[in-house]
Amino acid sequence: MIRYLLKNFIRSKIHPIGLILLLISGLISLEIGARFLNRTAQVSEKTAIHQQENIQRNVSYFSSGMGDLMYYLKFGLENEAPRLAGLSIGQRDVYPSLQSLTVRNLEEQRYATDLMNPLFQLLGNMDFSFVLIYLFPLVIVAFGFNLISEEKEGGTWSLIRSQASSPIHFLRQKLGIRLGSILLVLFILLGVGKIYLDIPVDLPFLVFGVVSVLYVLFWFALTWLVVSFQLNSSQNAQVLLSLWVLLNLLLPAGINILQRWLFPVPEAMTTVIQNREGYHTQWDKPKEPTLEKFYAKYPEYQTFVHPKEADFSWLWYFAMQQAGDEEAKSEVENLKSKLSKRQELAKQLGWMIPSVHTQLSMNSLSLSDLGNYLHYLAALEGFHEKLKGYFFPKIFSNSPVLEENWGRFELEKFRDAPSINWIQILAPFACTYLVLLLWATSNFRKSGLLSYQKKSS
């Protein structure tokens, strides 16, 4: 029976064509992922070179004053992308993965990013996760929508029921062959991706593969449920395609709208405006209150004093810059809180929507999700404080510029690690499978196929 089903599967034109198209799409997605990783590496390399060139150039221009020099010098922190990000680019093409900061106010610099081609951003990236989530289900639908109906419409169903020891077993074998062919393409793509993108075989990669298989199994379970109603081929195709649109387009778009409605984030621009107002207004105010606030936050600098009757000093200037950051602090916390709540809402709703859950899981494993960006923002704050802690004493005491070893200030990297929670990853799939398979079993029992199996056994 299996040999017969394999021959029919191979002889059908749609099956080999579907598998070939899926394989080609997957290979294209791997090339897109490789280009993304190469572009990221090139930006990192060029930034590291530019940082050293910028430091040496400015040191030659402002060798007489540490304050003048540090007004211009920038130091970069890169949010390092793992090789797995080539399979799931996620939001790394939206949020900056590398920023260079001066020791001046942080908030005005935090939201500066590269300009990108708006058409490219509109189209997005056809990475491997896109192919898996959007294209794999279409091929699965094409393979499975007429699992029973083609036998009925071809006049062979009565023969199968009379000749096969178990029609339900026949259908399972038929579906299993289709499942095996799809999983074969999936494993080929993951294997090629591991080699082509130089992905280490570590726990995140293995979990990524598990999530990919579970998502494919979900669509086969959903197809099994739909064909259990024993509709005709046209109706099965319409139902499955409608479910594809619902699960992959409408519901994710609805989550996005709900996120924006519940947690609007206008604070990015507001933060910049309040930050600028916070330090620009200091020019017209007495300097003592500004310095007192600065000393309260950084008591270690109380030994440095602003000259009396002086209009300017680097101590007061950077105290003024700090005042701008303090002015925008509440907006910064609101922004981070709302971004975090958006992420949590998507995770919760993703329990009921496998496509969303799969995308979030893959982005989390490849460190290309919103959670990774929030971790990077926190690291950026720590990086900025470290710069200030090192250079402020040198600026306030006007330390000799040429005595500093400027060659050691290389581009620094922030290395995050994915948090793998097996229950959160597996439980949504397990619950979905349970519902779909129990429902399908009930339908087959009502149609008499399961009872027929019991009589034959």
Q: Judge whether 72 lies within some domain.
A: yes
Alpha-helical segments (H) within 73-166: 107-110, 118-123, 128-130, 136-144, 149-153, 157-163
Q: How far is CA 275 from CA 113, 149, 279, 297, 394, in A?
A: 17, 66, 7, 17, 25
CA dihedral 57, 59, 64, 66 (to 10 degrees): 130
How many separate domains does the chain show? 1
Rg over CA atoms, the chain: 30
Q: Judge whether 69 lies within some domain.
A: yes
Q: Judge whether 310 lies within some domain.
A: no
Q: Which two tokens stand for residue 417?
A: 């690690």
Query: In the block, which residue shows the tokens 């500066």?
Result: 112
Task: Collect all residues with Cβ–Cβ distance below 8 Å to 143 and sequence separation of at least 6.
Answer: 14, 15, 18, 178, 181, 182
Query: Nearest CA to 8 among 146, 165, 136?
Result: 146
**What is the extent of the structural domain holding 441?**
2-275+316-456
Q: Judge whether 138 lies within some domain.
A: yes
> Tens of pLDDT along 284-310?
678 888 899 999 999 999 999 998 878
Q: Judge whether 285 lies within some domain.
A: no
Q: Which two tokens stand for residue 438?
A: 């129990």
pLDDT of residue 205: 97
Instruction: Divide the 457 residues of the chain into consecutive groups of 10 and give the mean pLDDT of each group.
Output: 76 88 96 95 95 95 92 95 96 88 86 48 72 97 92 82 78 93 97 97 97 98 96 95 96 93 72 59 76 93 89 91 84 87 93 95 96 94 96 94 94 95 95 96 85 47
Query: Nearest CA to 38 among 85, 6, 4?
Result: 85
- The identity of residue 333, as a single letter, is E
Residues 146, 159: Cα–Cα separation, whole Å: 17
Q: How far is CA 201 from CA 93, 130, 208, 323, 371, in A?
A: 25, 22, 11, 48, 23
Q: Judge whether 286 lies within some domain.
A: no
> Tens of pLDDT along 404-448?
999 999 999 999 999 999 999 999 999 999 999 999 999 998 887
Query: Nearest CA to 184 among 400, 425, 379, 15?
Result: 15
Q: How far is CA 166 from CA 153, 177, 434, 450, in A?
A: 20, 17, 23, 8
Q: Judge whether 288 lies within some domain.
A: no
Q: Judge whether 304 lies within some domain.
A: no
Q: Which two tokens stand for residue 25?
A: 């799409």
